[in-house]
A = this chain, B = another copy of it.
Amino acid sequence: MQIDVDILFTWGAVAKKYLKDEIIFYEDDSALFYYQIVEGAVKMFCSNEDGKEFTQGVFEKGCSFGEPPLFIDEIYPCTAIATQDSVVIKISKDKFLTIIAEYPEINKSIMKLLALRIFKKSLTNKNIVNQKPEYRIHAFLRDYKQKNGVSDSEKLQIPYTRQEIADFTGLRVETVIRTLSLMNKCNKVEINNHKLFY
């Protein structure tokens, strides 16, 4: 949970509903609000000229997203879209910055959040540059599992489609499918009835 919802509302935040597939903000928009998810899920992604999509992150209930540009007067580097019907709290940049200045605990947690994001993005960079598909997929799965606090030994079903995994790893669907098949043969993943376990 990023910022206590009561505090947000006290400072004038409003909750807004977004339907599945509705855009919350576009790449290159200027950043005017702090967003925090009450219900639902949001994906941030950017697409390049040939329409290929890259998923920069997914966010769920309790998470905030799109904060960095607020601090540096920058435009959004990616688009944010609701991947389910969602409720999102918005509060203006100024109020958000004020809250951070007023509440040391919140300040600290935002700092931690940003630090974690950098850490994760460093890893992502590293994994993507290593162009081997298996390596990229492995890193993605490991990260997903860890994010959900599941120990290495337990098997976990991965709730993403092959296309989604492709968008996370910067590969193509077919490559993901073929690589997963190979990984299945080597027992690096488990595929049952098209469902993927790791």
Chain A residues close to B by CB (< 8 Å): 46, 48, 52, 54, 56, 67-72, 74, 77-78, 100-101, 104, 107, 110-112, 114-119, 121-126, 128-131, 135, 170
Q: Give the nearest-CB partner of A49 in chain B.
A: B130
Q: How far is the CB of A96 from chain B (nearest CB, A)?
A: 12
Whether B70 pairs with A115 at a CB distance below 8 angstroms is yes
Among B54, B104, B114, B117, contact of A111 (Cβ-Cβ < 8 Å): B114
- The CA of A7 and the CA of B118, in the complex, are separated in Å by 26
Given contacts A114-B111, A126-B46, contact A119 B69 (CB under 8 A): yes
| Interfacial chain B residues near A70, Cβ < 8 Å | 115
| Interfacial chain B residues near A107, Cβ < 8 Å | 107, 111
Given contacts A111-B110, A124-B125, contact A72 B119 (CB under 8 A): yes
A-B CB contact pairs (8 Å), 21 listed: A48-B129, A52-B129, A56-B122, A56-B126, A67-B115, A68-B115, A68-B122, A69-B119, A71-B112, A72-B112, A72-B119, A74-B119, A78-B126, A101-B104, A111-B111, A118-B121, A121-B121, A121-B122, A121-B125, A128-B129, A128-B170
Whether B130 pairs with A52 at a CB distance below 8 angstroms is yes
| Interfacial chain B residues near A52, Cβ < 8 Å | 129-130
| Interfacial chain B residues near A54, Cβ < 8 Å | 125-126, 129-130
| Interfacial chain B residues near A104, Cβ < 8 Å | 101
- The CA of A67 and the CA of B116, in the complex, are separated in Å by 11
- The CA of A78 and the CA of B124, in the complex, are separated in Å by 12
| Interfacial chain B residues near A46, Cβ < 8 Å | 122, 126
- The CA of A18 and the CA of B167, in the complex, are separated in Å by 42
Given contacts A104-B101, A111-B110, A112-B71, contact A77 B117 (CB under 8 A): no
